[in-house]
Structure 1
Amino acid sequence: MTKQELKEYYWIRRNITKSEQRLIELETAATKITAQLKNKHDAIMGQGNTSDKVGNTVADMELVRDEMTEQIKRSYAVLAKLEKAIEELPAREGYLIRSRYIELLSWEQIAVDMNYSWKQIHRIHAEALHQLQ
């Protein structure tokens, strides 16, 4: 586990949140289109390829939804790997790593919170990174 991987934790979480929001939007739109298709079935069937366009749009939305779902699953797997590595650290080191990379606290905030000097916090941080490798 590298420092860069720990830094990615926050952004992976943010990307998951955005993707989940987008997924909800897609599902809402697909539901709306499907409902319109059902309500106007007779009119759409009379216009030839209009139903194909609507059906193709819904099918495309489902493909995007499936791809996004897979991306979210992969992201959650990365987060689980990072969480497991942090949990395996001693309590103090895990607390510091979680404070810095997950809660995004400043070094000063962590030092005050943990009741250590700024220099001690950096020493503990270096030890934690070493233990993660």
Structure 2
Amino acid sequence: MDQEKTENEQKKEFLMSYQLAKRDVTRLEEQLAELRIGKMSPGCEIGDGLPHAHNATDLSSYAAKVDGLEREIVAARYRRICAFERVRNCIEALEDEREKLLLTYRYLRGMRWTAICEKMDYSWQHLHKIHARALKNFKTCD
């Protein structure tokens, strides 16, 4: 039983890899947006009231940070696409259509169990039985 649980946990981790990659992209995009907002509306400094020139390195440092984050976002988007394809291909290898649909809703679309119950018109208990069967039949195809 411990072996099976470990195997199921590994399968779930693989299936969740797309959602994790998707969250990474979102997190990086939010960081970039915050960086841009911070540069467009910097905090007001209270000083002597006289205008001061900003250090020229401020802009080059900002540009370097933006460029670095944009490169990370492109790489993260590529990882997300690859994760999606890997997970989708493995799900599509299942024979049972209900199992495919359930795993697609849960792990590719990121739907909650209650929404999947409504969408597939199954009780929570029945849905989890299908999920258990799907995990049993699921093979990672790396």
Give the alignment's TM-score, normalised by structure 2.
0.57
Partner deviation per Cα, 1:89-131 (whole Å, 9 max, x = no partner): 232111122233331214x963883446825x44432332133
In structure 1, stretches of 5+ residues that fail to align are 33-42
- C-alpha displacement of 1:74: 1.4
| Number of aligned positions between the proteins | 116
Q: 1:71 to 1:85 in 2, by over 3 A?
A: same
Instruction: Please point out which of 16, 21, 25 is paired with 1:16.
Output: 25
Partner residue in 1 for 2:71 = 66
Q: Distance in 1 between matches of 2:63 and 2:102?
A: 47
Give the alignment's TM-score, normalised by structure 1.
0.60
Q: 1:105 to 1:55 in 2, by over 3 A?
A: same
Q: Distance in 1 between matches of 2:119 and 2:36?
A: 45
What does 1:105-124 correspond to in 2, within 5 Å? Answer: 105-106=113-114, 110=117, 113-115=120-122, 118-119=125-126, 121-124=127-130
Partner residue in 1 for 2:91 = 86
Instruction: Please point out which of 97, 100, 104 is paired with 1:98.
Output: 104
What does 1:23-42 correspond to in 2, within 5 Å? Answer: 23-26=32-35
Q: Distance in 2 between matches of 1:60 and 1:70?
A: 15
The answer (yes or no) to whether the contact 1:93–1:125 under 8 Å persists in 2 is yes
* 1:132 and 2:141 aligned: no
The answer (yes or no) to whether the contact 1:111–1:118 under 8 Å persists in 2 is no
The answer (yes or no) to whether the contact 1:97–1:128 under 8 Å persists in 2 is yes
Secondary structure in 2 matching 1:79 = helix
Q: Distance in 1 between matches of 2:75 and 2:116?
A: 37
Q: Distance in 2 between matches of 1:112 and 1:54?
A: 51
Q: Identity rate of aligned residues, in percent?
A: 22
Quick check: which one's helix share is greater?
A: 1
- C-alpha displacement of 1:83: 2.0
Secondary structure in 2 matching 1:2 = helix
